[in-house]
Amino acid sequence: MKRRSLLLGAATLTLSQLAAGCDSKPILKIRSLKNGIPAQLVSKFSRDVQPSPLLQVTQEGQLKELFALLQEWKRVPQSKNQANLVMLGDYWLTLAIRQKLIKPIDPAKFENWTQLPERWQKLVRRNDDGQLDPKGKIWGAPYRWGTTVIAYRTDKFKSLGWTPTDWSDLWRAELRDRISLPDSAREVIGLTLKKLGKSYNTQQLDKVPNLKKELANLHRQVKLYSSDAYLQPLTLGDTWLAVGSSGDLLPLLQTQKDIALVIPVSGTALWTDLWVEPASGNPLSLVEKWIDFCLQPRVAPQLSLLAKASSPIIVGMKPEDLPEAVRTNSVLLPDAKILAASDFLLPFGDAGIAQYRSLWQEIRQVVKS
């Protein structure tokens, strides 16, 4: 799923223009996904930190573009366009560590690091091969997270007399040729594994009973596979149901009144965007201040509402300390049982990757009869 110029309004100078006129102010250079940093947070950070800093934010459309920049800066360490911090998805973290594109960070430098729920702290603690390791180093700071969700057309489902609540609903006969799924082996095989009571991170797929049969039946339901062009068919009504990223779909609700979202009750896939430091970057105190700012409990609810993705911090906060708009949003803040049953897509070795790739290719060739 395709997840995610800072938008400050037409009457506002760009941050780089401001920086040019204020040479005495410290500058923090950030590379982010488009719309990944709400303008209100930039303003608050500049007010809270003294001397007042400037954020020079450059945006990219996709995570793979940010990863490619890290590779470029490794080849050309003194590149003029190098940033101090880069937003990177947790799924890319293993490769970034293996290719030595980023450097570890020291959590002791962040006053609010302990506010992070334990599962997010564990997610970024890796060994030098990028695998989870309780004795490993910390390679990134979790910033925001989201889920794989089911989006559906409420107007179309009225005639069916039911609404989807779990992955098993995708197999119902009424949805034949009405579904779009991500063009992703991990996501599609993963959601089928969840239907069968397994984890998204299950390996040895040949030992999972009925997996191939279930995938073949699901394939016959699908109208299209797409990770980045599935929103328009849904809004036009060409598909009645789509599986996609909450980061893509939450903003859609602002303009599309006939679309609703649900997180499957048996659990789903989790993704997290992280702040990472390029390996060739120079130490900068503003990096630590920005990360610690993003981890503040008083910033987390605002970040969650404005960025259309949740701060990890809100998971550990008391409900009464959260605004109603966060507390009552079941996508921004899923039920604790659903969240506990959900999985980060953890790194696989070559054998695991090969298994998924082989099964995915086989299923995509199934003839829809």
| Contact of 59 with 17, CB cutoff 8 Å | no
* Angle, in degrees to the nearest 10, between helices 300-307 and 39-48: 150
| Contact of 273 with 280, CB cutoff 8 Å | no
Q: Report the pLDDT value the prediction gives residue 1, as an integer from 0 to 100.
A: 57
Both tokens of residue 151?
Answer: 């989006």
Q: Report the pLDDT value the prediction gives residue 11, as an integer from 0 to 100.
A: 27
Superfamily (CATH) of domain 15-145+271-334: Periplasmic binding protein-like II (3.40.190.10)
User: pTM for the whole thing?
Assistant: 0.90
Domain spanning 147-269+347-364 has what CATH number? 3.40.190.10
Q: Report the pLDDT value the prediction gives residue 78, as an integer from 0 to 100.
A: 81
Could you tell me the residue ranges of all domains in the chain? 15-145+271-334, 147-269+347-364
Report the distance separating Cα 364 and Cα 345, nearest Å.
21
Q: Any idea what DSSP says for residue 164?
A: -
Report the distance separating Cα 16 and Cα 54, nearest Å.
9
| Identical fold between 15-145+271-334 and 147-269+347-364 | yes
Residue type for position 168:
S
Q: Could you state, in chain order, the average pLDDT of each consecutive group of 10 residues for the chain (369 residues)? A: 35 37 76 93 92 91 95 89 95 96 96 96 97 97 98 96 97 97 97 98 96 97 94 96 96 94 98 96 89 96 94 95 95 96 94 95 86
Report the distance separating Cα 200 and Cα 267, nearest Å.
10
